[in-house]
A and B are shown apart, each in its own frame.
Chain A
């Protein structure tokens, strides 16, 4: 089983890491949807430019934030932890057979 490893020594750092990580996940979702909208073809050129610039600015701001606070490493680690949880979850949901395995292990 995976564990979330948030730095206990520095609560502030941990909270910041958590927030930044979540924002990063949302940011990636937004970027993916932006690509879909642009490919959908309903946006004007000006809107595409604006959208692209805004996302770029957000990306730069996030990178700067992480550099400023030196949390690149911890964000990476948290991302891996979260991804492991999701992977486990998806694995369980898509393969109901594993539920029994887990139960057997416990039992």
Chain B
């Protein structure tokens, strides 16, 4: 017991002499906190042997050794020092190991977020923390430490915010980040608008004009790596003069319902889906319920487009008109209720010298 706690003899009983109107003050130094503190600082060691007997017959034996003390006290006595070292070493390894900032690199902002990992069968969101530094955009997970995704700011060509329906049925804002090597990454952040704004500012401040020179649209299909079945309902292009690349809306020619004759083991089968014409990405078709486009034709692959008269419409679903897109290796058969509209869109993808001999409509 803390006999040596320096406890002065107590003054005479308090209470009766205490002025009521004032805040009670304590003239004894013994408080619960001090008692606990003293116990921990001195340390308590309990060594107990006991036997419980009934009618002088020993039934239960207890042999108890217990020590309770502050860690510093235990270390002084040479107890648990291995354990202390191991615990701290583990923390040293796992905490700062993950996010290593480069020289002159500073964190501009951080917020909870996640990055989408496109892995079969469906891909998944990996939660972590989104860091915007003066040099990089990073998604980092602290425990277990992992760098989930990163891109240097100079290589990010476009950041868009897309509203998507999640698996749970609610709409969620996703950040679609495109890099100049053609990659597309899907991220989420707690405050996507703020993150994008800061990103634009930081990029303007640190990469200067280097990003503006590449006025070329990025490669890669817009629907690539789409995380859920939902379709983006709103695409907000990045604002500000620093936007180096025409945004997605500029290159989209058209999008709508379209049927596709899919090759199956027993022959062709018509499937309904969504077709999309994009000047930079070309033509893509994604079946209803599919996660990825089943058809992807870069603009250079589209040699000719035929539709309307002269096509065999016998096997096409009722009420639709057939279309054919000829590529170097195959002929893609499509069907639509608006053949004129689709012919117009698809022709914008074909090279100028395309032979238009079959393109007359009824």
Contact = CB atoms under 8 A, between A and B. Distances in A.
Interface of A: 25-26, 28-29, 32-33, 36-37, 40, 42, 44, 46-47, 50, 79-80, 82-83, 85-87, 89-91, 93-95
State the main secondary structure of chain A at its contact with B.
helix
Given A33-B70, A46-B96, A86 B35 contact: yes
A47 to B, nearest CB: 7
| Size category, B interface | 20 to 34
- Nearest 3 pairs of A and B residues by beta carbon: A90-B30, A83-B31, A33-B70
Contact of A40 (B28, B35, B75): B75
Contacts of A47: 88, 91
Nearest to A32: B37
B32 A33 contact: no
B9 A42 contact: no
A74 B1 CA distance: 30
Interface of B: 1-3, 5, 7, 9-10, 24, 26, 28, 30-33, 35-37, 40-41, 70-72, 75, 88, 91-92, 95-96
Nearest to B10: A91
Contacts, number: 71
B40 A29 contact: yes
Contacts of A83: 26, 30-32
B40 A82 contact: no
A90 B3 CA distance: 9
B71 A37 contact: yes
A80 B14 CA distance: 13
B40 A91 contact: no
Contacts of A95: 9
A87 B72 contact: no
